[in-house]
Amino acid sequence: MRKWSIRILVFTALGFAAFWLLTRPQTLPDNAFADLIGDPSAGEQVFWAAGCASCHSAPDAKDEEDKLVLSGGQRFPSPFGTFIAPNISPSPEGIGGWSTHDLGNAMLYGSSPKGQHYYPAFPYASYVRMKLRPAGLQDVANLHAYLQTLPPSSQANAAHDVSFPFNIRRGLGLWKRIFINDYWIVSVPLDDQQLQRGRYLIEALGHCAECHTPRNAVGGLLYDQWLTGAPDPSGKGRVPAVNALDWSAKDIAYYLESGFTPEFDSAGGHMVNVVENMSKLTSEDREAIAAYLKSLSEK
Share of the chain above pLDDT 90, in %: 71
For the chain, where are the alpha helices, taking DSSP H only?
A: 2-22, 40-50, 52-56, 64-67, 100-109, 124-127, 136-147, 172-179, 193-199, 209-212, 249-258, 271-278, 283-296
Q: What is the per-residue pLDDT for 1?
A: 60
DSSP states along 214-273? -B-TTS-B-GGGTTS-EE-TTSSSEEPP-SS--S-HHHHHHHHHH-B-TTS-B--TTHHH
* pLDDT band of 11, cuts 50, 70, 90: low
**CATH code that applies to domain 187-299:** 1.10.760.10
Please give the pLDDT value at position 269: 82
pLDDT digits (tens, 9 = 90+) for 116-146: 999 999 999 999 999 998 899 999 999 999 9
Q: Hey, where are the domains in the chain?
A: 24-183, 187-299
Q: Look at residue 2 in the predicted model and tell me its pLDDT.
A: 60
Compute the average pLDDT of residues 72-92. Answer: 93
Q: Is 160:119 a contact under the CB 8 Å cutoff?
A: yes
Give residue-wise pLDDT tens across range 198-215: 999 999 999 999 999 999
Q: Say whether pLDDT at 27 is over 70.
A: yes
Would the pLDDT of 264 be above 90?
A: no
> Does residue 15 sit in helix, strand or coil?
helix
pLDDT at 298: 72
pLDDT of residue 122: 95
pLDDT above 60 for 96? yes
- More confident position, 231 or 87: 87
